[in-house]
Amino acid sequence: MSRGVIPPGATIGVLGSGQLGRMFAIAARRMGYRVHTFSPDDDTPTGQVADAEITASYQDLEALGRFAQGVQVVTLEFENVPAEAIQAIERHVPVRPGANALYVAQQRAREKAFLRTHGFPTVPFAHATTLDELRAAIAEVGTPAVVKTAAFGYDGKGQHKVTRASEADAVWASVGGQEVVVERYIRLQSEISVIAARGVDGQTVEYVPFENRHANHILDVTTAPAVVPPRVAAEAATITRGILQALEYVGVLCVEFFVDTDNQLMVNELAPRPHNSGHLTFDAAVTSQFEQQVRAVCGLPLGDPSLLRPAAMANLLGDLWEGGEPDWANALRFPGVKLHLYGKATARKGRKMGHLTAMAATAAEAQDLVIAARDALLG
């Protein structure tokens, strides 16, 4: 066994307990690992398939210490974990990705500053911590602009479009006086993501760019490979590798990009974990993003990221349950469609309950197939 490898039979700890952890645990257990999950909740998507589910607050440093003593390495499926929690675990075992990468990716202002400092392309932006700074930031960036809270924003939460400078006061009140980032509103051609992994030894692999379409700020459908010029795909991969290197990253990272109408790439944000857009890799890639995470954090060689065929993924939100239980049999009459449900007991509007994947001769055909299957859930 190579030095530094955490072999099958060992126990991997996961901070967070949602669907990303669930699919990670499935991949890890298939490879012979045990999985312990830690979060404030019980009967969670991850806990249902893990070997042990520890329920405690991320502020409970004693519980985190006990959790760390029962595992050989810790990874994340949820990045908004307090720095003190990471430090408590690192006294016992490695946390991958590490504290520095999480510090950067947890907060938009720090993330944007990191990208700018290292020369990675972004939308023009400014930073504000007071109302006066917000007014100045809007003036600097220009309108229309998007004001985003610096912390705890996802699926469009904490975002406000500004069309006139005079709207600054109302936006500042609506975000509760939080630190914000102001970004220039750009004309988009598409949104793509590149998911990549970097190992303990610095080995790096990345998937082809995936194209993402959103509805109400929540990812709706992903197709792969993305329809972008080869130059754009190659540049996105190069930028992603550069970010992994600059962060000295170990694990799986998703880099979300804007592609403007001139085919120029701009990094939108980083997700220091597997990503919703990569769910299709569970069925459609030689090595899924979740297996890559296992391999990376355990010091194993990374797997082949190639797609078996073009593919598509469609999210299943709680809205589908509003008229009663979806018609699973009707959707699964499409032979090429795969169903993934996350074990969440309660369906709520906008809540991610599962997803469908499909493969076909082209990404467009896969998209048509997965959307037809999702439509069939409603009979």
Inside any domain, residue 68 = yes
Assign residue 206 the CATH number of its domain: 3.30.470.20
pLDDT of residue 4: 85
- Please give the DSSP secondary-structure letter assigned to residue 203: -
> Does residue 179 sit in the same domain as residue 194?
no
User: With contact defined as beta carbons under 8 Å apart, do 319 and 350 qualify?
Assistant: yes
Confidence of residue 182 (pLDDT cuts 50, 70, 90): very high
User: With contact defined as beta carbons under 8 Å apart, do 358 and 370 qualify?
Assistant: yes
**Average pLDDT rounded to a whole number, residues 127-136:** 93
> Does residue 179 sit in the same domain as residue 304?
no
- Please give the DSSP secondary-structure letter assigned to residue 165: G
Inside any domain, residue 161 = yes
> Does residue 60 sit in the same domain as residue 130?
no
Tokens coding 144: 């229309």
> Does residue 213 sit in the same domain as residue 331?
yes
> Does residue 227 sit in the same domain as residue 371?
yes
CA distance 93 to 112: 30
* Residue 129 burial (10 A CB sphere; 0-12, 13-18, 19+): middle
Inside any domain, residue 352 = yes
Q: Which of 95, 114, 139 is a domain's end point?
A: 95
CA distance 65 to 55: 13
Assign residue 142 the CATH number of its domain: 3.30.1490.20
Cα Rg for the chain, rounded, in angstroms?
21
Inside any domain, residue 4 = no
Q: Which of 184, 200, 218 is a domain's end point?
A: 184
Q: Is 223 helix (H, G, I), strand (E, B) or coil?
A: strand
For 326-368, write each residue's pLDDT tens digit.
Answer: 999 999 999 999 999 999 999 999 999 999 999 999 999 999 9
Greatest C-alpha distance within the chain: 64
- Name residues whose C-beta falls within 8 Å of residue 358's C-beta, 6 or more positions apart in sequence: 311, 312, 334, 336, 337, 338, 366, 369, 370, 373
- Name residues whose C-beta falls within 8 Å of residue 181's C-beta, 6 or more positions apart in sequence: 108, 109, 112, 125, 126, 127, 128, 147, 148, 150
Give the lowest-confidence range in 22-26, 54-58, 97-101, 246-250.
Answer: 97-101
Q: Which domain holds residue 136?
A: 124-184
CA dihedral over 18, 22, 27, 33, signed as positive or negative: positive
Q: Give exposure, 187-203, as e/b (b: 16+ Cβ within 10 Å).
A: eebbbbbbbbbbbbeee
Inside any domain, residue 111 = no
> Does residue 250 sit in the same domain as residue 287?
yes
> Does residue 52 sit in the same domain as residue 130?
no
Res 1 pLDDT > 90: no
- The larger pLDDT score, comparing residue 155 to residue 121, is at 121
User: Count of domains in the chain?
Assistant: 3
DSSP string of 326-374?
A: --HHHHTTSTTEEEEE---S---TT-EEEEEEEE-SSHHHHHHHHHHHH
**Average pLDDT rounded to a whole number, residues 78-84:** 89
CA distance 198 to 121: 21
> Does residue 193 sit in the same domain as residue 235?
yes
State the amino acid at position 328 in one-letter form: W
Res 80 pLDDT > 90: no
**Average pLDDT rounded to a whole number, residues 306-335:** 97
Confidence of residue 154 (pLDDT cuts 50, 70, 90): low
Q: Which of 184, 207, 230 is a domain's end point?
A: 184
> Does residue 80 sit in the same domain as residue 143?
no
> Does residue 323 sit in the same domain as residue 224?
yes
State the amino acid at position 2 in one-letter form: S
> Does residue 358 sit in the same domain as residue 212?
yes
Inside any domain, residue 132 = yes
Inside any domain, residue 101 = no
For 185-200, write each residue's pLDDT tens digit.
Answer: 999 999 999 999 999 9
Assign residue 56 the CATH number of its domain: 3.40.50.20
pLDDT of residue 232: 98
Please state the pTM of the whole predicted model. 0.94
CA geometry: angle 329, 331, 332, nearest 5 deg: 65
pLDDT of residue 73: 98
Q: Give exposure, 320-348, as e/b (b: 16+ Cβ within 10 Å).
A: bbeeeebeeeebeebebbbebebebeebe
Inside any domain, residue 112 = no
Q: Is 158 helix (H, G, I), strand (E, B) or coil?
A: coil
> Does residue 65 sit in the same domain as residue 91?
yes
- The larger pLDDT score, comparing residue 81 to residue 315, is at 315
